[in-house]
Structure 1
Amino acid sequence: MNLSDQLSLTARENLAKTAYVFNGEETNYQTLEGSVTKFASSLQELGYQKGDHIALVVGNTPHFIIGMYGALRLGLTVIPVNPIYTADEIAYILNNGDVKGVITLDVLMEKFEKMDKMFPNIEHYIVGETTPDYDVNQSSLSERSFSFTKLVHGGSLELERPMLHDDETAVILYTSGTTGKPKGAMLTHKNLYSNAKDVAEYLEIGANDRVIAALPMFHVFCLTVALNAPLVSGATVLVVPKFSPEAVFQITKDFNATVFSGVPTMYNYLLQYPNEDEKDFSSIRLCISGGASMPVALLEKFEERFDVRVSEGYGLSEASPVTAFNPLDRPRKAGSIGTNIVNVENKVVDENGNELPPGEVGELIVRGPNVMKGYYKMPEETEASIKDGWLYTGDMARIDEEGYFYIVDRKKDLILVGGYNVYPREVEEVLYSHGQISEVAVIGVPDPNLGEAVVAFVVSTDESVTEEELLELSKEKLAKYKVPSEIRFLDELPKNTTGKILRRSLKEQLATQ
């Protein structure tokens, strides 16, 4: 079984049931199933065939749902991309990912027009209309541009589906790597389907649930927990185009939402929302937190204010993503990521791969049908990450006597800004590209709103270099959440006897100021 076939099965059993809600408009499973098949057939007419790669550069709209499931139905490999990425970031993914076509939105076409020459292999732009007066023929890329709506409406329901095998790549998720360049985690049909099904079972998501999708759909957390798991279960997805406390409370009230998932920053914003009259979460039975460790004080305040359970979990792109969650059949433990979900094993090991007893800290490794097949075109990185079937997460953790896991420290030097991963090396390389910078060290510092903020320490060979010009360079080359909130100039960076920069000393320096 795979996501595409499961959607067809769910649709046959729930034709009139609402599959998703967008901007107040409900779309049932029968309509969604038809749109997916017709979009797949139109892609086939354009020359796409099993194994081709197609990028999905859209936000939280029906275009994402129909686009992804339609591409999967035809056996294509889908590469979701953050729409706010810069030209350089998008170009790297499209070129490295051997992308043939791009599904995007009309509001993003001006960006693609400007940077089209950066990826010469793109054959088609499939443009989702968000405004009624948009015309793909007005684009400078009109010869290669096609209307998403017309492809759906003009497609055929008579599609000869290719055979999809469990171990074939369905999605490639690009995740930041310590080398400074993103790595493409290849997730198979089995990876995605098994994790969606197992998460739905573990969190008891059923046909009567209405799940809020306020996290970005291109992010694996939302993709599995708030999109695939509900659709596998015949539930309803409540699509929030862009997160805001007001939007979440409104859609909860209008459609009696039952499940909300978010990163800790979102919970903080919901808790701090000033309009008390609109803060109604009474229909919500379960809140799911992930993406970053949730402060225990915030968790407890949220549960007390809204009288709802908040269950933390753990996952990573390479595991589709979920490996652990606080179980619903017993009390949740604040500060814990929970226990193994169905069919997935977590284990804490020492440097030699030996399992450690409860209480001792080691690296968290995971095994299960959800673990990726490897990194795209990166065999050495794959071999270093997957050993004897176990995925080495790089996160330090411990387990207690009852089988609950606790993340003790994050991946070395990883910075989490609002739930997004920022690796220092990527930011450092951009600052180094200035030409007048001899040393750079980027660290994360606590931030009350985003969890962490990015701070850069630099040593310049030219005293005229300013913080403003380095920030402008960062904004040009990096997504907004990766841009340093502050850049500090030093005469030299602290180092140990081998010349390695001591990031801890820099953090201590900030803490004492």
Structure 2
Amino acid sequence: MNLPARLAQIAKQLPDKEAYVFVGERCTYRQLNAAVSQFADGLAQLGIRRGDHVALLLGNSPQFVIGLYGALRLGATVIPINPIYTPEEIGYILQNGDVKAVIGLDLLAPLFAEAKRRLPLLSHAIVCETPQGKEKAVPLTEEMKTFAAVLAAGSPEFTGPELADDEVAVILYTSGTTGKPKGAMLTHKNLYSNAQDIADYLGINEHDRVIAALPMFHVFCLSVALNAPLMNGGTVLIMPKFSPAQLFALAREERATIFAGVPTMYNFLYQYKEGSADDLRTLRLCISGGASMPVALLKNFEEKFNVIISEGYGLSEASPVTCFNPLDRPRKPGSIGTNIKNVINKVVNEYGEEVPVGEVGELVVRGPNVMKGYYKMPEETAIALRDGWLHTGDLARMDEDGYFYIVDRKKEMIIVGGYNVYPREVEEVLYSHPDVVEAAVIGVPDPDYGEAVRAFVVTKNPELTAEQLIAYCRERLAKYKVPTAIEFLNELPKNTTGKILRRILKEQFVASRA
């Protein structure tokens, strides 16, 4: 079984059920499945074949869903790309990913034209027309086709080839925190199994209405808020982009039952004064992932909105989910939960040996969701996949009940005078201060201790001083963990999913001292 085949099944079982809602537009499973077949056939008529690579440079939209499932039904491999990446970043992925066709916004048409001149393998550009593009009169070349034209050319009866489980369905390029982005190859089995296991674990069914506010080109939204509900006949409430005001309105008007977001989103929702528990009264579950959620934020959000947050864990290389806090057992704030169905997590030392309960080590994962490898990167694949286990690079511990806790990224641990300091531990203390909105902690060079702890904070109290916050930390942390300096910022750097980027803060700090 695979994603497009399961969509066809659901379309037969629940043809008139709403598959998605987008800015008032409603689409049934029958209509979605027909559009997916039409688009797949339209791609085939352009010469796109099974195994060809098709890039998606789109935001949250029906075109993203139809483009994704249509390319998969044809047997092509999809490469989702953030459409606001720089031309250099997009160009690297198009070249490294051996992309044959691009599906993107008309605003990117000049970029496609330039890319076609430099990349001989790139033969087709399919553009989605937007009001902004029409307003700017973006010129389309003769070689470009519109999304609507490709869709109209296809037949809704198109079925596509039988797909093998181990064929690569999607290549997700990681954020490249350690250099150039790496393309994680996810097979049809990887994606289908994780979507189905997420749906089973969280009890997602045809009655659920799931808000997709995270970017669909990111694996968190792709699997949790798109694929998982579509596997069981749920309805996806597509938001073009995240906005607290619009999310509260959408949840209220469409009677949403599930929301998936990153901690920054929950922080924005919590800080939004006009939002109320009544807006979210139909939610049965909130899901958090993408980064560790500060316990203080989790408790404050749940108290204000009277809804449970289930924190989980995942990474692109695992399609992505490996853990969630269970719904049928006690939830542990600060934990990423327990193994989801069919997936095993464990904590190991540098020799790959499982460490005792409570000890910190690297989190490793095994299951049908684990990637095939990195595209054209055999050495990096061999480092990440060892003895059947995916090495995540995250430091974690497991308690006596089998709940896992992320301590921090291996590469972001701070060593002060030989003592290990985990940034998250310091951030948790900072977040517990009533005037702190956001916080991030990094290690900076120190002539005496090797490294020192430095914090960056966004506050809602302009009178709060660094000295006051340091004193607050001193009462709650061991001396070597206390920040030696705190800098106040208007906002912290984040990626497109809202994850705070410590590495950017570190780069900016280094540049300021150069």
TM-score of the superposed pair, with normalisation by structure 2:
0.81
Q: Is the 8 A contact 2:107 2:133 kept in 1?
A: no
When residues 328 and 444 of structure 1 are mapped into structure 2, their CA distance, relative to the original with a 3 A threshold, is farther
Note if 1:281 corresponds to 2:280.
Answer: yes
Corresponding residue number in structure 1 for 2:446: none
Once residues 135 and 114 of structure 2 are traced to their aligned partners in structure 1, the CA distance between those partners, rounded to angstroms, is: 18
Contact 1:249/1:279 (CA < 8 Å) preserved in 2?
Answer: no
Note closer, same or farther for the CA distance 1:489–1:327 as it changes in structure 2 (3 Å cut): closer
Task: Calculate the aligned-residue CA RMSD, in Å.
Answer: 2.9
- Matched AA of 2:104: T
**In structure 2, what is the Cα distance between the partners aligned to 1:279 and 1:49?**
50
* Aligned 8 A contact 2:202 2:327 in 1: yes
Aligned to 2:119: 119
Q: What is aligned with 2:166?
A: 167
Please give the alpha-carbon distance, in whole angstroms, between the structure 2 residues aligned to 1:365 and 1:410.
Answer: 13
Counterpart position of 1:4: 4
Give the secondary structure class of the aligned counterpart of 2:236: strand
Q: CA deviation at 1:404?
A: 0.2
Hey, what's the Cα distance between the residues in 2 that align with 1:94 and 1:189?
A: 21
Q: Please tell me the residue identity of whatever aligns with 2:5.
A: D
Q: What is the CA-CA distance between 1:287 and the residue it aligns to?
A: 0.3
Deviation at 1:108, TM superposition (A): 2.8
| Aligned-partner Cα distance in 2 for 1:391–1:346 | 9
- What is the CA distance between 1:143 and its match in structure 2? 2.1
Q: Is the 8 A contact 2:276 2:304 kept in 1?
A: no
Aligned equivalent of 1:311: 310
Residues 395-414 of structure 1: pairs in structure 2 closer than 5 A: 395-413=394-412
Structure 1, 250-259 or 141-150: larger mean CA deviation: 141-150
| Residue correspondence of structure 1 range 46-445 to structure 2 within 5 A | 46-113=46-113, 116-131=116-131, 134=134, 141-177=140-176, 179-276=178-275, 280-413=279-412, 445=455
Alpha-carbon distance, 1:161 to partner:
1.5
- Structure 1: state its 5+ residue gaps: 417-421, 425-440, 450-479, 494-513
Q: Deviations over 1:281-318 (max 9, x none)?
A: 10100000001110000000100111110010000000
Separation in 2, partners of 1:444, 1:71: 47
Post-superposition offset of 1:447: 4.4
**Matched residue SS, 2:131:** coil
Closer/same/farther in 2, CA of residues 492 and 445 from structure 1, 3 Å limit: closer
Counterpart secondary structure, 1:142 = coil
Preserved CA contact (<8 Å) 2:42 2:152: no
Distance across 2 between alignment mates of 1:171 and 1:445: 37
1:16: which partner in 2? Answer: 16
Task: Encode CA deviations 1:127-147: one digit per residue, 9 max, x unaligned.
Answer: 1122398499x7655222111
**2-side partners of 1:159 and 1:246: how far apart?**
41
Give 2:495's aligned residue. Answer: none
Summarize deviations over 1:186-220 as a string: whole Å, max 9, x none.
Answer: 00000000000000000110000000000000000
Between the aligned partners of 2:26 and 2:358, the Cα distance in structure 1 is 49
What are the superposed Cα offsets for residues 35-67 of structure 1, whole Å, 9 maximum, x if unpaired? 000000010000011000000000000110000
The amino acid that maps onto 2:162 is M
Alpha-carbon distance between aligned partners in 2 of 1:133 and 1:348, rounded to the nearest angstrom: 50
Confirm or deny: 8 A CA contact 1:250 1:278 kept in the other structure: no
> 2-side partners of 1:28 and 1:237: how far apart?
11
Q: Answer yes or no: is the 8 Å Cα contact 2:34–2:157 preserved in 1.
A: no
How many Å separate the matches in 2 of 1:367 and 1:490? 40
Equivalent position of 2:432 in the other structure: none
Rounded to whole Å, the distance in 2 between the matches of 1:165 and 1:147 is 30
Counterpart AA for 2:151: V
Query: What residue number does 2:43 align with?
Result: 43
AA in 2 matched with 1:294:
M
CA distance in 2, matches of 1:100, 1:486: 35
Question: Hey, what's the Cα distance between the residues in 1 that align with 2:454 and 2:55?
Answer: 31
**Structure 1's 122 and 353: CA in aligned 2 closer, same or farther, altered over 3 A?**
same
Q: Paired residue for 2:431?
A: none
Cα deviations by residue, 1:362-421 (Å, 9 ceiling, x for unpaired): 1100000000000000011111111111101111111000000001111413999xxxxx
Question: SS at the partner of 1:242?
Answer: coil
| Percent sequence identity over aligned pairs | 60
Distance (whole Å) between structure 2 residues aligned to residue 391 and residue 69 of structure 1: 27
CA distance in 2, matches of 1:379, 1:488: 34
Which runs of no fewer than 5 residues in structure 2 stay unpaired? 414-422, 425-439, 443-450, 460-499
Letter in 2 for 1:359: G
Cα 1:160/1:242, change in 2 over 3 Å: closer
Q: Give the superposition deviation at 1:112.
A: 3.4
Q: Structure 1, residues 255-287: CA drift from partner, whole Å, max 9, x if none?
A: 100000000000010011121469611010000
CA contact (8 A) 1:303 1:309 kept: yes
What secondary structure sits across from 1:370 in the alignment?
coil
Q: TM-score, normalised by structure 1?
A: 0.81
CA contact (8 A) 2:256 2:283 kept: yes
